[in-house]
Amino acid sequence: MGSNKEQIAGINTPTTMNWPKKALMVTPDFFNVEYAINPHMMNEKGELNTIDQKEAHRQWSALKKTFENLGLEILTINGEEGLPDMVFCANQCFPFLKEGQLNIVLSEMHSEQRKPEVPYFKTWAENENIPTHKLGDRPLEGMGDVIWDYSSGKIFGGYGLRTSIDTYPKLETLIDQEIIKFELLDEKFYHLDTCFSPLGNQTVAIVKEAFTDEGLKTISQHFKTVLEIPLEEAINQLACNLCCPNGKDVVIQQGANRTNKLLREHGYTIHEVNTSEFIKSGGSVFCMKMLLH
Ligand code: ARG
C-alpha cells in the first residue's frame, strides 16, 4: 500500500507518511498498577488490580518478538522506578515527519502520576538526534489520542478525556496538517486508541459505542469500510487496541474471537498475543509501542 498523498477537505495536504519500519518499546521492569486513572485498573470491588510481574515480562517479550517477526525493528528504553505506566509508550510522544525527517511532539500528560515519564522520552529522542517539540501546558497524550492512518496520511485525534480540544490548534499549526477530531465521552474508552484503529485500505476498526453521532458520521466520511468491534471484546480484551503496522497483519490480544473473525473476513492476518497483565492497567498491543519511521 505504501504512502500516498491525498487532498482532504480542510486546511492542508496530509504529510506523506509511509508504513512504519521501527517501534519503540519500554521494558516492563517497573510496570505495576499503583493508582487508578482509568476504570480498567480496578476490579469489581473497586480495588487496584494486582500484577504478576514475571508473567508481564513474558508477555512483553512475546509481543516484542511478534513485532520483530513482522519486520519491525524494535528500539527499547528502560522503564524507570516509580513510573508504573511508562511501559505504555504510545502516550508520551506524537511522531511526525518534517521535511522527510522524523520529529516528535512531547506529550503533556493528563495525570500528575504520568507527567514525569515524558523527560525520559525527550532524553531518548535527543540521543537519537530526533528533534523534539513541546506545545505548552494543555493535555496531549501522544499516540494514545492522536493516530496516523499511514495509508492515507490522515491524522485522527480524540479529545475530552485525556487530550484537550484546546491542544489541537497548536498541534495542527506545528505539524502543518489538519487533524480530524472526535469527542470521547466514555471513561472505558479514555484514549482514541481504545476505540479507533485504522487498518489501511480505507478501512478502520471502531467501537461505535465510544463515539458521538457526529463522530460516527465523520468516520463514515473518511473510510470506505468501517468494521465494528463487539463492545464486550472491546472492553474485556481491549480488542480495538490492536496494531496493524502494514495494512495486512493485525497484532491483537488473544481471545477476541468475533473481532478476529471479522478481520479475517476482510483479508487481515491475525497474530494473537497475550497482554492480559497490561489490560489490568487499561492498555494492550497498540499502546505498548510507539511506531516510528
Ligand atoms: N494505565 C495507563 C493510563 O491510564 C494505560 C495507558 C494505556 N495507553 C493507551 N494508549 N490506551 O494512562
Burial class (CB in 10 A: 0-12, 13-18, 19+), 129: exposed
Q: Which one of the listed residues 40, 93, 110, 191 is annotated catalytic? A: 191
Question: In a mutational test of the pocket of ligand 1, which residue from 113, 238, 281 has the highest number of ligand atoms less than 8 Å from its CB?
Answer: 281
Segment 121-174, tens digit of pLDDT: 999 999 999 999 999 889 999 999 999 999 999 999 999 999 999 999 999 999
Distances (CA, A) of 275 to 43, 52, 254, 286: 17, 12, 8, 11
Statement: residue 14 has pLDDT above 80: no
Residue 79's Cβ-side half-sphere holds a number of Cα atoms within 13 Å equal to 22
Statement: residue 25 has pLDDT above 70: yes
Is residue 222 part of the annotated active site? The answer reads no
Distance from C-alpha of 113 to C-alpha of 161, rounded to nearest angstrom = 16
Statement: residue 11 has pLDDT above 80: no
Which residues make beta-bridge pairs with 76? 25
pLDDT at 18: 86
Residues listed for the chain: 293
Segment 197-231, tens digit of pLDDT: 999 999 999 999 999 999 999 999 999 999 999 99
% of the chain surpassing 70 pLDDT: 95
Strands (E), 118-239: 132-134, 146-149, 154-159, 180-183, 196-198, 203-206, 225-228
Residue 249 burial (CB count, 10 A): 18
Is residue 244 part of the annotated active site? The answer reads no
pTM (global) more than 0.85: yes
Ligand 1 neighbours, Cβ below 6 Å, are 37-38, 41, 85, 88, 90-91, 114, 144, 191, 193-194, 241, 281-283, 287
